[in-house]
Amino acid sequence: MGCAPSIHVSQSGVIYCRDSEESNSPRQTTSVSQGPAAPLHGLFVQTDAADAIPPSCASWAPGAARVRRARGELGSGSSGGSVAPAVTTCRGRRRHCCSSAEAETQTSYTSVKVLLIFAKEDSQSDGFWWACDRAGYRCNIARTPESALECFLDKHHEIIVIDHRQTRNFDAEAVCRSIRATNPSEHTVILAVVSQTSSNHEEASVLPLLHAGFNRRFMENSSIIACYNELIQIEHGEVRSQFKLRACNSVFTALDHCHEAIEITSDDHVIQYVNPAFERMMGYHKGELLGKELAELPKSDKNRADLLETINTCIKKGKEWQGVYYARRKSGDSIQQHVKITPVMGQGGKIRHFVSLKKLCCTTDNNKQIHKVHRDSGDNSQTESHSFRYKNRRKESIDVKSISSRGSDAPSLQNRRYPSMARIHSMTIEAPITKDGLRRLSGNEYVFTKNVHQSHSHLAMPITINDVPPSIAQLLDNEESWEFNIFELEAVTHKRPLVYLGLKVFSRFGVCEFLHCSETTLRAWLQVIEANYHASNAYHNSTHAADVLHATAFFLGKERVKGSLDQLDEVAALIAATVHDVDHPGRTNSFLCNAGSELAVLYNDTAVLESHHTALAFQLTVKDNKCNIFKNIDRNHYRTLRQAIIDMVLATEMTKHFEHVNKFVNSINKPMAAEVEGSDCDCNPIGKNFPENQILIKRMMIKCADVANPCRPLDLCIEWAGRISEEYFAQTDEEKRQGLPVVMPVFDRNTCSIPKSQISFIDYFITDMFDAWDAFAHLPALMQHLADNYKHWKTLDDLKCKSLRLPSDS
């Protein structure tokens, strides 16, 4: 007992560590083979069986069991002959690092990388090595200044530890200066290990170290816990701050390329940042603005006298202000801007900065100024107009198709057999399928062939429906028709169709009068809701929401629907259609549950997105009085309206699809058929006096509106089919990247047949539902479109064509 451990190598190449002569049991064995790299101490090292390499024993003192982490160090070798070049492996991956004597820990839990620069291995280098291993950092060791610099330039370490105790091997301060001379070192913390000061010597100043480029000094201490504590403090202090600084650089790069004018001022309104778009809009160079107070800049005389005071009062309270403001360019011209000013809070809730986003309003005077700005900025304007085209990050929803029609060959409701439960349970039920102006490339990749101008122009928001621009108003004249082209509205409104269509439809149904709110409040609400749809989604965006709103309004215009619902039901249906997919991430419920997303956790994996849509819609509505359309109705009306909206949005969740359809058939269709035939039936009658039936009608109506794409004219149907397919392709791609279960394997962009997927969706979900809805609402035009579209997909499928159109139509 108390004996130093001895090392023995068996003929089989197994290392045995014995604590004493009496112990023959192997302790932490490691197989060592001739030549190739073998794992040891969390490293991979090049070794021979004849070499005696001590294994890792936690009880050893760091200096007593020096581990030869990398054989073949520059300028050194074993006594037995030549040494192979150092080979490092990070987590099983072979790497050569500048032929340096450099080894790397195998275990890593964080993204922090540490470089140890020690000419010779000793207890101090061991201490830092095992501290890195304990903290889960990636750690490299270099023996010479040259190999250290080469390794650092290769891996960009966050922390570097340099041995400053002795000068005969290398000059630590010179090594530090050489590293600091490189660009990557800007975000690196460099630590100097210095010798302990004897009690009779005065402690040396740290200034020479700081001047050389070191950030910290560490008094020699080979204790692993001391080294560990030092590294952890650096990570939680300087390293994390550097991570934030790096992110700031990326943020400012994004701001520099943003097409909106952005101005950042201090809490006392001193300009601290303007982006190039601001320079172009206002005609100033940033050098003329930075450091100036806003009060020093010329003001336009077109604003109300009290406007600036109103703005300051609002933002000084920490509230966001947005509205129209006239600004004066350097040339003296006044331009009208949409401005949003957001206070930025610091520690203690104190306002630190104000961020202003500015867009030009679309007026005749501004058009002249815009032309002038673009002419003055030359080629730069082209670059700016092509950058950041896709502003918003929202996704669209899925489409369903159906095929029966009253005047077609499709079987009638009574003769149709409903899908068996076996077929239902064998499917993953998600939402419908469809895409915008798609042209097929190789495989199943598509590009947009129309509506390519994705950037938002400076289109002024209408104050009321009467202020809508003529080109948009002309399109909206046809909004009561089922043939209404939502994609034309999407293009002319620059991807903001929901506000314009919403103003028209809500006006037609007298929503403002029912809610006792102004059209200004309604417009503000529509703007907020549309802003929270993801424009970047291929399908689940505000265009899909506008399409569902249009279909809902169309259904509400049908005589039997109109006669079965109250005005409160109509208002609830229009609001539910508007918000039913707000903030949709472009991924299905199953994806969110499999990924363990915050929403899935919050809603217990049940109707995750539908619950989020309704909750967020009400949060957005009531948080700001300016857009609260419910603020003037009494509590009872609000509760009834709220419950109706929630119930309708939750009905769009597809796992209860067949339950909703069957209830509608049994409670609505069968009594109607019995009434027509004059037979006795115990079923509930239909009408305003039966709230249960009204609920079923509203659910069925929004479900059909949500997946009405297969019943649209063929061009619109094809467009939607492409969009939903692209969104599903993107989900499958992401599931494969993240190693998640593939929810819809049929939607693999390399193998998917879109016609076949549409046929399946129509067969399983759409046909029976629209048969039932048609039997109630009488929709011959829709059912004919459904039959025609189904025939189109069948023709493509018969031709084994995976694209969206027949070759003759391309």
Residues recognised as catalytic: 540
Burial state string for 96-117 with b = 16 or more CB within 10 A and e = fewer than 16 = ebbebbbbbbbebeeebbbbbb
**Mutual orientation of helices 145-155 and 172-180 as an angle, nearest 10°?**
30
**Is 543 annotated among the ligand-binding residues?**
yes
Residues composing the chain: 810
The phi-psi region of residue 558 (left if phi > 0; otherwise alpha if psi is between -120 and 50; otherwise beta) is: beta
**Is 540 annotated among the ligand-binding residues?**
yes
Question: Structure tokens of 134?
Answer: 């304990």
Residue whose pair of structure tokens reads 């020690």 in the numeric block:
118
End-to-end CA distance of the chain: 87
Question: Structure tokens of 809?
Answer: 């139509």
Could you list the beta-strand ranges (E) of 52-137.
88-90, 93-95, 113-117
The three-state secondary structure class of 447 is strand
Own/partner pairs, 753-757, CB within 8 angstroms, 24+ separation:
753/797, 753/802, 754/433, 754/444, 754/721, 754/722, 754/725, 754/802, 754/803, 754/804, 755/793, 755/794, 755/796, 755/797, 755/801, 755/802, 755/804, 756/793, 756/797, 757/433, 757/725
Q: Are 665 and 671 in contact (CB under 8 A)?
A: no
**Is 758 annotated among the ligand-binding residues?**
yes
**Is 353 annotated among the ligand-binding residues?**
no
**Is 415 annotated among the ligand-binding residues?**
no
The three-state secondary structure class of 328 is strand
Q: Rounded to 5 degrees, what are φ and ψ at 28?
A: 50, 75
∠ CA(747), CA(748), CA(753), 5° rounding? Answer: 65
Helix segments in 378-425, DSSP class H: 379-386, 421-425
Rounded CA separation 191/213 (Å) = 9
Residue whose pair of structure tokens reads 């950041």 in the numeric block:
388
**Is 797 annotated among the ligand-binding residues?**
no
**Is 706 annotated among the ligand-binding residues?**
yes
The phi-psi region of residue 318 (left if phi > 0; otherwise alpha if psi is between -120 and 50; otherwise beta) is: left
Which residues contact residue 377 at a Cβ distance below 8 angstroms, ignoring those fewer than 6 apart? 280, 384
Question: Which residues, listed in sequence order, are joined to residue 245 by a DSSP beta bridge?
Answer: none
Question: Structure tokens of 652?
Answer: 């769009």
Question: Structure tokens of 59?
Answer: 């009880």
Rounded CA separation 362/150 (Å) = 56
Q: Are 776 and 704 in contact (CB under 8 A)?
A: no
Which residues contact residue 64 at a Cβ distance below 8 angstroms, ignoring those fewer than 6 apart? 4
2 burial via Cβ count (<10 Å: 0-12, 13-18, 19+)? exposed
User: What residues form the annotated binding site for AMP?
Assistant: 540-544, 581, 706, 758
In the annotated binding site for Zn(2+), the residues are 544, 580-581, 706
Annotated binding-site positions: 540-544, 580-581, 706, 758
